Amino acid sequence: MRARGRAGVCARLGRGSLKPMSVSLPPDTNQPLFPGRARRPGRARAGSRVTGCREAGQMPAPLSQKIGQKKLQLAESQQQQIPKDRPPSSLGLQRSIYFSSPEDHPARLGPEFFDQPAVTLARAFLGQVLVRRLADGTELRGRIVETEAYLGPEDEAAHSRGGRQTPRNRGMFMKPGTLYVYIIYGMYFCLNVSSQGAGACVLLRALEPLEGLDTMRQLRSTLRKSTVSRTLKDRELCSGPSKLCQALAIDKSFDQRDLTQDEAVWLEHGPLATGSPAVVAAARIGIGHAGEWTQKPLRFYVQGSPWVSVVDRVAEQMCQPQQTA
């Protein structure tokens, strides 16, 4: 009777009503197969497989559903315990560079930008943005508006004139994009960048402050050798080679650093906001001892910029307006 009852149940349900189940049973043991339900000896052997309707050793359908529901609930509870805002561990420390998101600031300029002759590079610098990251993470930015080109051994005004190399000017002979920082008057620093050609470089003379002006003003007030305590105007912050070094906290420790890789200072692409203003080519400043080289038009600045250190009205009248690269 019991056998016929089971067969009748299978017949009524049909083969498609129950999904076949495959259960691997553990080796014979005195422990019950399921908690609270003792295994009946002789109904199934270790390692046997049972399929179809309820035969010896098969897990009852209601119990299987309960176990499945418990597993699903457990998985959901574990998932809820994981903070949704926690970043994947594989990402590691995220940083700007040269460190900031592309939406905020463009990427730094690479080696190919600096690998050009000094005059060409001096012009190309105009409009680019010099970035200085301080130890506390503060970033200072200034648009370059004035430069001077120094052509190498032939240039009587260059520190590399005659091809001489010293520990002081070694940065001028290193690969393009290397910083050359030197001291003037025993207390001020000037920032140069090496270009194509041994001993050639470009002096950065003036910046238009863009970001971190309050910090620049504080640095200038702390570092300048003046008894005047008045508050500096914005146009006074970086209008000169030594002023911009003070405003960006650049000293001799930056000498021979690679501007394409350094994490504290780099250059970003920054087209001039006013489009393509005229570039003035004038004589360099403070090189009266260099003979005919004192008058060569190797200083370049953005015409009409209020951030330029020295305006040459004669040069502006004589030279034809030229477009920046």
pTM over 0.75: no
Say if 198 falls within a structural domain: yes
Say if 81 falls within a structural domain: no
Higher-confidence residue of 285 and 290: namely 285
Report pLDDT digits (tens) over 28-62. 444 444 444 444 444 444 444 434 444 444 555 55
Report pLDDT digits (tens) over 241-258. 999 999 999 999 999 999
Say if 98 falls within a structural domain: no
Q: What pLDDT was estimated at residue 45?
A: 46
Report pLDDT digits (tens) over 144-203. 999 999 999 999 999 999 999 999 999 999 999 999 999 999 999 999 999 999 999 999
Say if 38 falls within a structural domain: no
Q: What pLDDT was estimated at residue 107?
A: 83
What average pLDDT does the chain have?
Answer: 78
| SS3 call for 161 | helix
Q: What pLDDT was estimated at residue 157?
A: 96
Which range among 76-85, 89-98, 139-148 shows the weakest confidence by mean pLDDT?
A: 89-98
Q: Is the per-residue pLDDT at 112 higher than 90? A: yes
Say if 185 falls within a structural domain: yes
Q: Is the per-residue pLDDT at 319 higher than 50? A: yes
Output DSSP code: residue 294. Answer: G
Domain at 303, CATH number = 3.10.300.10
| SS3 call for 74 | helix
Q: What pLDDT was estimated at residue 60?
A: 53
Paired tokens of 177 = 């994009």
Helix (H) or strand (E) holding 70, with range, is helix 61-81
Residue carrying structure tokens 């049973």: 25
Domain count, the chain: 1
Higher-confidence residue of 318 and 58: namely 318
Q: What backbone phi and psi angles, to 5 degrees, belong to 89?
A: -65, -20
**Angle, alpha carbons 37-66-18 (nearest 5°):** 95
For the ranges 12-16, 49-53, 100-104, 166-170, the maximum mean pLDDT occurs at 166-170
Say if 60 falls within a structural domain: no
Q: What pLDDT was estimated at residue 288?
A: 84
Say if 309 falls within a structural domain: yes
Q: What pLDDT was estimated at residue 46?
A: 44
Q: Which residues are bridge partners to 192 per DSSP?
A: 180, 203
Say if 131 falls within a structural domain: yes
> Which domain, by its residues, includes 236?
111-319
Q: What pLDDT was estimated at residue 231?
A: 86
Q: What pLDDT was estimated at residue 115?
A: 97
